A = this chain, B = another copy of it.
Amino acid sequence: MLYGYNGKILRVDLSQGIISADEPDESFYQHYIGGRGFISYFLLKELAGGEDALSPKNRLIFAAGPVTGAPIAGGRNSVGAKSPLTNGYGDAEVGGYWGAELKQAGYDAIIIEGKSENPVYLWIEDGKAEIRDARHLWGKTTGECQELIQKELGDRGVRVAQIGVAGENQVRYACVINDLSHAAGRTGMGAVMGSKKLKAIAVRGHQKVALSDAGAVNSLARWVRDNFKTNKLAAGLSENGTAGGLTALSTTGGLPTRNFQQGTFDGADKISGAAINENILVERGGCYACPIRCKPKVAVGEPYNVDPIYGGPEYETIASLGSNCGIDNLEAIAKSNEMCGAYGLDTISAGASIAFAMECFEQGILTEKDTGGLKLNFGNAQAMVQLIAMIARREGIGEVLADGVTRAARVFGKGAEDFAMHIKGQELPMHEPRYKQGMGVGYAVSPTGADHCHNMHDSLYVKRVRDELKALGIFEPLPCQDLSAAKVRMLVYGSLWRHVLNCLVSCVFVPLSTRQITNLIEGITGWEVNLWELMKVGERCVAMTRAFNIREGMTKADDYLPHRFFTPFTSGPLEGVSVDKGDLDRAIDTYYAMVGWDKNGVPTLAKLQELGIEWVAEA
């Protein structure tokens, strides 16, 4: 008996219209767990390398994990595919309720292959799946689409994961939206979904997955409910959301501002978590079975008219569309966030692309002729809002920016590359590598390009991060501006653990200790697990995603930071601070060696063998 899973993976061939189910054996589940583990496994096994990410050959995988559907913040799933943004490994995690519903509908994952001729959506209910016409949904906002699907299926309880017009138009950083207000944002998964003409996946399930020890799981869930308010991070998130630390970050000098030109933003107070609470918050939302409720729901009246069904802006969104565009107009940011939700755009890449365009404009690389009359100066909130719609619809300069900064820079020419803040083609999230230098290394070596989700080990002021590292055997804190081998070790251990959470799929904000999470997995699955085994699952993810990228032709040269970060800040608290290129290169080499890659960044055969995944070498 397999606890915590359904033992079934739904497979949908949209070209053929064929639906089937894989039933992997238990050892598959034990070795790869879920989420990124599943995705990297199937992408390696089922792609050959070199496929166009937007071709029917790509696989789009929705993967749950053992925590998904469990009564303890179990709303999350991962979405993965070859990324149209990086042409390498792509995946993104998302919260909400859809993931739990998928598990309760009888599946642990969905593998989508091929491409439908006409727009379709997938309808999954209690172990049955059906491909349905979606021509009437194509072009609709996510809000309209969810409404229509729920109506035609006659059930308000149906959960919908879907793309907006950005995904339909294959904007390379289009996202997948769960439950309207939760986004699998990064790496362009919405574009892949759009390329397959798959508008949505609607799910409804009435059967909770059997837990091995429901009592133990419920007791951990109760512990979270009773104790999260005493945990500084969780309590802060519950009160101020992810943007709670924005002002402090600006004061310290680490808030990305005007396309990473500065680290401090004058208007920080106006766009902080506190400002949201004071001015536009309607209520706080959250995810399935999570008491923390860190998600803002905001409403704004004229002229922006923001609808709370799309939630509200998170830290990444506010910094990306706010400080990084030089904008301190919270209502405009909230509007942009709503539009990104309605159109299905990743707010980070959208904001970063706009910031890039603004700097190009200020540098004279773009003129009003190029922008269709938009004065794209930093701080122009009105222009930002217009540009978002243009990107989603691929209109005017939006057509170029829809392909991301790296491709847009090539189109613009005139040295625009200097202002394209990306790694491997993916735009930087809102963590400044001159401030959090360990994260800079993490950015450079991440399989998905610039990605902040598995390298928060600089944030040692957060007790949770310190506790995580302590559980992994690292007792001494180190400063943010440190690229020593000891710091790289923190990245390696810390990010392995984050990979584990990604496989589970469990939210990093739930204040469970490493130990409690180990107990949780045992309670869910009935397996006797320990941290060594779990970390090895994380190591498998690191090796498999790297192998995927190598098969796609990536090399050591793709592990870098934009050269802006080697230039010191010229103002602010971190004036004079930059990343030392030599230190960074050494740190990258050290990272390679620590995770078992050779000096060219290729996982050694012995490392694959040590992880029991020798098959990766052949793949």
Contact of A604 among B515, B530, B593 (CB under 8 A): B593
Within 8 A of B (CB), among A154-188: none
Contacts of A530 in B (CB 8 A): 471, 514-515, 518, 530-532
Closest to A518 in B: B530
Residue in B closest to A485 when the chains form the complex, CB atoms: B609
A534 to chain B, nearest CB (A): 8
| Among A12-20, A218-226, A290-298, A472-480, the stretch in contact with B | A472-480
Shortest Cβ gap from A544 to chain B (Å): 16
Interface of A is mostly: helix
Q: How far is the CA of A485 from the CA of B486 in the complex (A)?
A: 30
Whether B528 and A471, one on each chain, are in contact in the complex, defined by CB atoms closer than 8 angstroms, is yes
Q: Which of A497-548 contact B (CB under 8 A)?
A: 514-515, 518, 528, 530-536
Binary B-proximity of A582-605 (CB < 8 A = 1, otherwise 0) = 000000011011101000000011
In-complex Cβ contact of A594 among B27, B472, B533, B610 (8 A):
B610
Q: Which of B473, B485, B592, B605 contacts A532 (CB 8 A)?
A: B473
Please tell me the size bucket of the interface on A: 35 or more
Q: Is residue A607 within 8 Å, beta carbon to beta carbon, of the partner chain?
A: yes
A488 CB–B CB distance under 8 Å? yes
Q: Is the CB of B528 within 8 A of A489?
A: no
Residues of B within 8 A of A528 (CB): 471, 515
Q: Which residue of B lies closest to A594 (CB)?
A: B610
Docked pose: A554 CA to B513 CA in angstroms: 44
A487 to chain B, nearest CB (A): 10
User: Judging by beta carbons under 8 Å apart, are B607 and A594 in contact?
Assistant: yes
Report the separation of the CA atoms of residues A604 and B471 in the bound assembly, to the nearest whole angstrom: 25
Closest chain-B Cβ to A495's Cβ sits at a distance in Å of 13
Contacting residues, chain B, for A534 (C-beta < 8 A): 532
Contact A593–B606 (Cβ < 8 Å) = yes
Tell me if A418 counts as interface (CB < 8 A to partner B): no
Q: Contact between A472 and B610 (Cβ–Cβ < 8 Å)? A: no
Residue A73 interfacial (CB < 8 Å): no
Q: Which of B471, B492, B533 is the one whose CB lies under 8 Å from A610?
A: B492
Which B residues are in CB contact (< 8 Å) with A589? 606
Inside 8 A of A472's CB, which chain B residues have their CB?
532-533
Q: Does A269 contact B (CB under 8 A)?
A: no
Q: Closest residue of chain B to A598, judged by CB?
A: B593
Q: 3 closest A-B pairs (Cβ-Cβ)?
A: A593-B606, A485-B609, A531-B532
Chain A residues at the B interface, C-beta cutoff of 8 Å: 27, 30, 471-475, 485-486, 488-489, 492, 514-515, 518, 528, 530-536, 589-590, 592-594, 596, 604-607, 609-610, 612, 614
